[in-house]
Chain A
Amino acid sequence: MRPFSYQHPRSTMAALALAAQHVARPGEARRPAPARYLAGGTNLLDLMKIGVDHPATLIDIAALRQEHGRIEADESGLSLGALVRMAEAAEHPAVLRDYPAIAQSLQLAASQQLRNMATLGGNVLQRTRCNYFRDPSWPACNKRMPGSGCAAMQGVNRRLAVLGVSEHCIAHYPGDFANVLAAFGAELDLLAPDGTARRIPFEELHRLPGGTPHIETNLQPGELITGFRVPAGPWTRRSLYLKIRDRDSYDFAQASAVVGLDLQDGVVREARIGLGGLVAKPWRAHAAEAALNGQRLDRAVAEAAAAAAFQDAVTHGENAFKPELGRRTLVRALLQAAAMEA
């Protein structure tokens, strides 16, 4: 690990002021040394140890839990502070009762030790588990070194993505919780280093790889995630997260599905569908939702929705099994959600 400067601000304003020192001003030629916010550290310290990330400054935002560590639920929706720990959200009574897909996506991720450390803000920003990204001894990785190529296309890639990929990168987004936020139409609260607040749709946080896989989000330099807002709907209560893994616990998804249904007399009034484990970014399956809305939900309709969700899938060698695994995962999740008492 390379040396870095460690800062420990006691307030949000102090953290933003530190971040501002590391953001280039318009017209200024000098590029400031990169800084990172440190929250739970479970992904950032990992990447620093394996030599993939080397920030010059860490801004430890643990003390900001006072301001951004709360969970609040009312009839209109759920507010989650960015510094809420995964374990806290997974076990919150209102989340368990009214947003079961959120609770399950967190419970089924990582281990209890990691869930006790990792924050929700950091969780959504976790980096891909692609082996070629995580091992700097591989010379070709467009995400790690723009323009160097992609060793994964012809390599060990059974974990990697089949939806949203480009000819430059097939890295997967490995998380679970973010897929639920995307499916539920959540919003994201942000603060810029100059104190400007903005709220954006969560679906707009991550970018598709396209020709610039090294640019993963639409965050501005120094911008801080402060929280999430999930609007309540009939689909949040009748919801589930189904995760398929190589081993039964403590593993990343090979395929996963978020299903939220507003169901009346067996007919889908509104569906919210998300996918994970095989996607380039947190994924809302709009085509699958369109195939379900207004339909009586049976196996044939579920299979048609799953086919629509994967119609644009692109596979590379080892991961050719993933569209079929993804379709079956979604069909099973749809039929389970339809059978829920909600």
Chain B
Amino acid sequence: MDVLLKVNGTEHRLAVDVRTTLLDALRERLELTGTKKGCDLGQCGACTVLMDGRRVLSCFILAVAAQEAEIATIEGLAGENAPLHPMQQAFLDQDAYQCGYCTPGQILSAIACVQEGHANSADQIREYMSGNLCRCAAYPKIVAAVQQAKPLMEGS
């Protein structure tokens, strides 16, 4: 089927097998490999992207069903020579990863967590970030990174 995907502000026309997930379309067809495939069964959060500002799992969305949404991936957060997004910078500053595989999903989920108003305490961050697993267990530093980025994102 022919689909039109709007990713990071750019429209892409492509022909896909109807079974193609948004995750596979991003990675295999648009070469946006920042979005990671972990479990591919909606359990790990590595494939988290934003759809119309909401964080969702791209492994559970068919590409044909994603056509009317604005999709944001890790590649769209900062331009080539522009400063990093405050959440990206916070993950660097806080050393909030080891292997880095879950990190793009963590960062997009964390941005949405702040925007939803669910980052008001360490406990609340842990609860609302629980859909992003980190097998290196960098969890304490991920919480610290969200706390660092929150005031910068809110402009205070």
Please list the residues of chain A having a beta carbon within 8 angstroms of any beta carbon in chain B: 1, 3-6, 8, 38, 40-42, 45-46, 49-50, 58, 60, 62, 87, 110-114, 116-117, 249-250
Contacts and interface: CB of A to CB of B under 8 A. Distances in A.
Contacts of B118: 112
A129 B40 CA distance: 17
B62 A45 contact: yes
B62 A111 contact: no
A60 B18 CA distance: 13
B130 interface: yes
Interface string B30-63: 0000000000111001001000001111001110
B65 A112 contact: no
A60 B66 CA distance: 11
Contacts of B64: 6, 8
Contacts of B55: 112-113, 116
B131 A46 contact: no
Most buried by B among A6, A87, A112, A114: A112
Nearest to A45: B60
B116 interface: yes
B99 interface: no
Contacts of A110: 131
Interface residues of B, number: 30
Contact of B65 (A41, A87, A113): A41
Contacts of A117: 56-57, 60-61
A117 B65 CA distance: 12
B65 A3 contact: no
A245 to B, nearest CB: 11
Nearest to A116: B54
A41 B41 contact: no
A112 B110 CA distance: 11
A40 B18 CA distance: 17
A112 B60 contact: no
Contacts of A40: 60
A40 B65 CA distance: 10
Contacts of A114: 42, 57, 131
B116 A1 contact: no
Most buried by B among A3, A46, A58, A111: A111
B45 A111 contact: yes
Most buried by A among B19, B60, B118: B60
B41 A113 contact: no
Nearest to A111: B131
Given A113-B57, A116-B54, A249-B130, A6 B42 contact: no
Nearest to A41: B60
A2 to B, nearest CB: 8
Contacts of B17: 3
B112 interface: yes
B113 A112 contact: yes
B18 A4 contact: yes
Contacts of A3: 17-19
A16 B109 CA distance: 36
Most buried by B among A3, A40, A113, A250: A113
Contacts of A50: 41
A112 B142 CA distance: 17
Contacts of A38: 62, 65
Contacts of B132: 111
- The 3 A-B pairs with the shortest beta carbon distances in the complex, nearest first, are A111-B131, A249-B130, A250-B130
Contacts of A6: 1, 18, 62, 64-65
Contacts of B57: 42, 113-114, 117
Given A6-B64, A249-B126, A249-B127, A116 B56 contact: yes
Contacts of B18: 3-6
B101 interface: no
18 contacts: A4-B18, A38-B62, A41-B62, A42-B60, A45-B42, A45-B62, A46-B41, A50-B41, A58-B62, A111-B45, A112-B55, A113-B109, A114-B57, A114-B131, A116-B56, A117-B57, A117-B60, A250-B131
